[in-house]
Amino acid sequence: MNGAESLVQTLVAGGVDVCFTNPGTSEMHFVAALDRVARMRCVLGLFEGVVTGAADGYGRMADRPASTLLHLGPGLGNGLANLHNARKAASPIVNIVGEHATYHIRYDAPLTSDIEGIARPVSAWVKTSPDARAVAADGAAAIAVARTPPGQVATLILPADTAWNRAEGIAEVPPVPERVRASAEAVREAARILRSGEPAALLMTGMALRAPALEIAGRIAGRTGARLLAQGSNARIERGAGRVAVERIPYVVDQALAMLKGLRHIILIEAKEPVAFFAYPDKPSLLKPEGCAVHPLCALGDDSFDALSALADELGAKPAAAKFAPRAEIARPSGALTKESVAQAIAALVPENAILVDESITTGRGFFASTLAAAPHDWLQNMGGAIGYGAPVGIGAAIACPDRKVLCLLGDGSAMYTVQALWTEAREGLDVTTVIFANRSYQILKGELANVGAGNPGRRALDMLDIDRPTLDWVSLAKGMGVPASRVETAEALVKALGAAVREKGPRLIEVVL
């Protein structure tokens, strides 16, 4: 057994049995080991941002890490933006990055770079294996780091000779650490605040946005009148009909301030104090109203279900107190394609248990509200703000949950960053429907130009925000990568195309011309 095989075996034994990859010469022994370790599923991406984003999506939906396999510093670099997003999403990922043979690094060959330096800004843990016998134990350590709640990015760098030299078998992965429980004192303090009658909200993210925890939060809200809030972005929310709904803090600062106005207390459950996505002249960075106190009940990765349960017990909040979103029969829209009719079509047609990956940016600001009473589904968002996350995360979600329909809702500008994802969807036959909102501009930036006080843009500035010259033809782009596609220009056509996509399995793309 060589080092590469000892690593693949260790990964599989440690529960990491999916590898998203774009390999090169230095990773060839890892690739060759795949022939000998049948239980590792390897998924090829044609660009590393697809690979790392897929690992993010897999981690969110499987609640355990996938691995990536990347080619030296530049391969890692290409995957960096989606690793940034994954880090902010607290997704568990084990990156394997090939490196030159240990003795070759000093010669500064073309691909030589500071891989550890590139990895550090996106990784909780970085290590270069010193020799083949260390690789299995280093792999086990990487898995342990990745699985540590709330989930972390671990990057293991594998010099080629540590892959091809003789190793000594696999290493055991330590068990996943228990999540930390909230202190009785923090629970009592939260209960005291909620009983005070002063306007209060629970601000939740992480595991607190899964259905079981939300149900407990719903009891607390019913008992005390507390509002249930989620951050602007969340890795995964279980929502829709039959679930306890949360309000989301809007992206637009003035809207966020209006929403939080009047609150005297925000109790943080895995969440952070709400902050603006960007700074703007003369607007605050912190969104809570003046005089509002912030009380941490439990930190990200702590046992929020337990904390909410303890709080509900302390408050005597009974199951009957929880209010669930009703199932609404949503009419299918007709007429022109507008933000409203698009939102309505999605709400009407989202299938039971679907996974919605939301990178719809300006077009989709109404989607959250419109789908409140749609069929129950998971809602995945961009946690790091690096666009191009949506299609790759959809791939990972589809591989983690092959029996669930994935809907990727993507702005056209965003989707171009990782457009190569379509090819992997076709190759793997993934049950992913990609909806492209073709407004043919970086629409959000037109608003931001005003928000930051940069004045009225002239032609040259607008040229940097419009992407309509030439027009992107998404049907052709999809065809070029083997994904069947259609273009819709009316609400009826969107309803028809989405209906077909929901009924049939397999990848497809719908270009929604706005």
Using CB under 8 A as the binding rule, whether residue 108 contacts a second copy is answered as: yes
Q: What CA–CA distance (Å, rounded) separates 319 from 434?
A: 38
Using CB under 8 A as the binding rule, whether residue 124 contacts a second copy is answered as: no
Q: One-letter amino acid identity for 70?
A: L
Q: What CA–CA distance (Å, rounded) separates 418 from 394?
A: 12
For the bound state, the minimum distance from the C-beta of residue 295 to a second copy, rounded and expressed in Å, comes to 18
315 SS3 class: helix
Contact code string over 65-104 relative to a second copy, x by CB under 8 A: -------xxxx-xx-xx--xx--x-----------xx-xx
Q: Which residues, 242 to 281, sit near a second copy by CB under 8 A? A: 272, 275-279, 281
Query: Binding a second copy by CB under 8 A: which of 12, 97, 160, 194?
Result: 160
Judged by CB under 8 A, which stretch of 206-214, 327-335, 394-402, 419-427 contacts a second copy? 419-427
Q: Which residues, 170 to 199, sit near a second copy by CB under 8 A? A: none
Using CB under 8 A as the binding rule, whether residue 471 contacts a second copy is answered as: yes
Find all residues with CB under 8 Å of 240, minimum gap 6, and list them. Answer: 325, 350, 371, 372, 373, 374, 375, 376, 377
Token duo for residue 226 = 């507390």
Three-class DSSP labels, 167-188 = CCCCCCCCCCCCCCCCCHHHHH
Using CB under 8 A as the binding rule, whether residue 21 contacts a second copy is answered as: yes
Among 263, 203, 200, residue whose Cα is nearest residue 233: 203
For the bound state, the minimum distance from the C-beta of residue 245 to a second copy, rounded and expressed in Å, comes to 23
Q: What CA–CA distance (Å, rounded) separates 335 from 328?
A: 21
Cα distances (Å, whole numbers) of residue 469 to 465, 477, 487, 510, 512: 11, 16, 18, 21, 18
What's the CA angle centered on 332, arms 247 and 437, to 5 degrees? Answer: 65
Please say which residue, 218 or 413, places its beta carbon nearer to a second copy: 413
Query: Binding a second copy by CB under 8 A: which of 138, 161, 270, 303?
Result: 161
Please say which residue, 239 or 288, places its beta carbon nearer to a second copy: 288
Using CB under 8 A as the binding rule, whether residue 362 contacts a second copy is answered as: no
Judged by CB under 8 A, which stretch of 111-119, 166-174, 193-201, 370-378 contacts a second copy? 111-119
For the bound state, the minimum distance from the C-beta of residue 294 to a second copy, rounded and expressed in Å, comes to 13
Using CB under 8 A as the binding rule, whether residue 467 contacts a second copy is answered as: yes
Using CB under 8 A as the binding rule, whether residue 58 contacts a second copy is answered as: no
Please say which residue, 436 or 501, places its beta carbon nearer to a second copy: 436
User: In this structure, are residues 240 and 255 in contact, taking their beta carbons and an 8 Å threshold?
Assistant: no
Using CB under 8 A as the binding rule, whether residue 411 contacts a second copy is answered as: no
Using CB under 8 A as the binding rule, whether residue 130 contacts a second copy is answered as: no
* Sequence-ordered alpha helix ranges (H) in 45-126: 48-62, 72-78, 80-88, 115-119
Query: Binding a second copy by CB under 8 A: which of 183, 196, 285, 334?
Result: 285
Using CB under 8 A as the binding rule, whether residue 328 contacts a second copy is answered as: no
Using CB under 8 A as the binding rule, whether residue 505 contacts a second copy is answered as: no
Q: One-letter amino acid identity for 262?
A: G
Inter-axis angle of helices 390-400 and 48-62, nearest 10: 50
Using CB under 8 A as the binding rule, whether residue 282 contacts a second copy is answered as: no
For the bound state, the minimum distance from the C-beta of residue 260 to a second copy, rounded and expressed in Å, comes to 15
Q: Which residues, 218 to 237, sit near a second copy by CB under 8 A? A: 233
Token duo for residue 39 = 């239980």
